[in-house]
């Protein structure tokens, strides 16, 4: 158990809908990362927050947005969902947003768009 908690574990929704994925980082970790992993694909970096502020942005679609709250939990909002958005979405956290910090991953949220 990495200490990173993600909910829901599984989610099935229809095209055009909107969903919110939730992440609680490890106790004491200030930085949260979101990654997407499609079937047989590598981990794609979406976005990083550090202590409530956006730190880095990957190839995140405009239909997707995220935020980190004062209690450090984070949410990833996915809207106008398409079939191609079906994937595993991982949240990860680290103590700092800087160099050399180990990033720990949660178990992921399986999103299926039908």
Partner 1 sequence: EDQVTQSPEALRLQEGESSSLNCSYTVSGLRGLFWYRQDPGKGPEFLFTLYSAGEEKEKERLKATLTKKESFLHITAPKPEDSATYLCAVQVPGGGSQGNLIFGKGTKLSVKP
Contact residues: partner 1, CB under 8 A: 2, 4, 33, 42-43, 45, 48, 55-59, 88, 90, 97, 99-108, 110
**Minimum CB distance to partner 1 smaller for 8 or for 18:** 8
CB of 34 to partner 1, least distance (A): 10
Q: Judging by beta carbons within 10 Å of its beta carbon (0-12, 13-18, 19+), is residue 33 exposed, middle or buried? A: buried
Whole-number minimum distance, CB 99 to partner 1, in Å? 4
> 14 with 114: CB under 8 angstroms?
yes
How many angstroms separate the CA atoms of 19 and 107, rounded?
Answer: 18
For partner 1, give the closer residue by CB, 48 or 68. 48
Smallest gap from Cβ 108 to partner 1, in A, equals 5
Question: How far is Cα 90 from Cα 35, in angstroms, rounded to an integer?
Answer: 5
Of 75 and 107, CB closest to partner 1: 107
Find out whether 86 and 38 touch, Cβ atoms under 8 Å. Answer: yes
Nearer Cβ to partner 1 (43/61)? 43
């Amino acid at each position: 158990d990495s200490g990173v908690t993600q909910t829901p574990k599984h989610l099935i929704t229809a095209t055009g809908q909107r969903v919110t994925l939730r992440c609680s980082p490890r106790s004491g970790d200030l930085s949260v990362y979101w990654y997407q992993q499609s079937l047989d694909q590598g981990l794609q970096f979406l976005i990083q927050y550090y202590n409530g502020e956006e730190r880095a942005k990957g190839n995140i679609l405009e239909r997707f947005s995220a935020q980190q709250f004062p209690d450090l939990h984070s949410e990833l909002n996915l809207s106008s969902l398409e079939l191609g958005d079906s994937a595993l979405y991982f949240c990860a956290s680290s103590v700092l947003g800087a160099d050399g910090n180990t990033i720990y991953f949660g178990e992921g949220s399986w999103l299926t768009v039908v």
